[in-house]
């Protein structure tokens, strides 16, 4: 699988097969890093992020146990990390700006096995027209050990996760400055599970689940342009 994307390459068509890992334009060879569930891993950029934008990290488990032969097709991807923007109508800020690496934790309850890991930085400087958002993508392979018994999800297909019309993808970040920013993609794996775990012993669970879901969705939407080098375990 892909571990390096040349500097100038970007994807703007969210329906393209290249939207997954940009394999048609690269000849990269990947190794599989072994990591423990709950540990921190990261992607290293070949230069600091300079386009304003946001970041999502997705994972997909290799169904045959071998990530090196898995192309990531199907409804198999789930989000494990995101870094969003903060907007209030007066200003909009992008915490990923000037970053040179992105580190995130592998969920502690993620089942053991081999996975593809995909990072996307959604550059929004030209996103005011359809197809203007630029996706800078890189993928890697990991073997997760000492995993848990969680059920990753929500599951999405890549391509397929976006239409390009999402408010966090088709957006003018300059004028008028947005009042809010909605992170594209599904909820992050672990957020809903954590909510259910916390509320499972509460008698008002059923009555409060809709309100709680709204709260957790709001948190999720308020949680890295380009990441080129191989996945690195820390």
Q: What pLDDT does residue 176 have?
A: 96
Q: What pLDDT does residue 184 have?
A: 98
Domain boundaries, the chain: 18-187+223-233
Q: What pLDDT does residue 24 have?
A: 63
From the list 148, 121, 146, the residue with the least C-alpha distance to 226 is 121
Q: What pLDDT does residue 190 have?
A: 79
**Average pLDDT, consecutive stretches of 10 residues, N- to C-terminus, the chain (234 residues):** 51 95 66 95 89 98 94 97 97 96 96 97 98 95 97 98 98 97 95 61 42 33 36 42
Q: What pLDDT does residue 193 have?
A: 61
pTM of the model: 0.82
Residues 133 and 121: beta-carbon distance below 8 Å? no
Which residues are CB-contacts of 194 (< 8 A; sequence separation ≥ 6)? none
Q: What pLDDT does residue 23 have?
A: 72
Q: Which two tokens stand for residue 216?
A: 């957790």
Alpha helix (H) residue ranges in the chain:
18-21, 191-199, 205-221
Strand spans (E) along the chain: 32-36, 40-44, 53-61, 75-83, 86-87, 92-93, 101-105, 113-123, 134-145, 156-157, 231-233
Reported as half-sphere exposure (CB side, CA atoms, 13 A), residue 104 has a value of 23
Q: What pLDDT does residue 60 have?
A: 98
Evaluate whether the domain defined by 18-187+223-233 bears CATH number 2.70.50.70: yes
């Amino acid at each position: 699988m892909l571990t390096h994307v040349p500097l100038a390459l970007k994807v703007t068509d969210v329906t393209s097969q290249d939207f997954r890992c940009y394999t048609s334009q690269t000849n990269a060879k990947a190794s599989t890093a072994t990591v423990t569930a709950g540990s921190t891993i990261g992607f290293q950029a070949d230069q600091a992020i300079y386009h304003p934008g946001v970041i999502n990290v997705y994972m997909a488990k290799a169904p045959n146990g071998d990530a090196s032969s898995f192309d990531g097709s199907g409804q198999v991807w789930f989000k494990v990390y995101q870094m969003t923007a903060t907007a209030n109508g007066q200003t909009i800020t992008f915490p990923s700006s000037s970053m040179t690496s992105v580190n995130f934790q592998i969920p502690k309850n993620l089942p053991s096995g081999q996975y593809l890991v995909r990072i996307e930085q959604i550059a929004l400087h030209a996103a005011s027209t359809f197809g203007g958002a630029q996706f800078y993508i890189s993928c890697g392979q990991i073997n997760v050990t000492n995993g848990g018994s969680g059920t990753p999800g929500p599951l999405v297909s890549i391509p397929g996760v976006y239409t390009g019309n999402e408010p966090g993808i088709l957006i003018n970040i300059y004028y008028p400055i947005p009042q809010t920013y909605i992170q594209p993609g599904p909820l992050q794996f672990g957020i809903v599970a954590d909510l259910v775990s916390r509320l499972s012993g509460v008698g008002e669970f059923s009555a409060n689940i809709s309100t709680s879901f709204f709260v957790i969705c709001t948190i999720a939407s308020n949680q890295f342009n380009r990441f080129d080098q191989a996945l690195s375990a820390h």
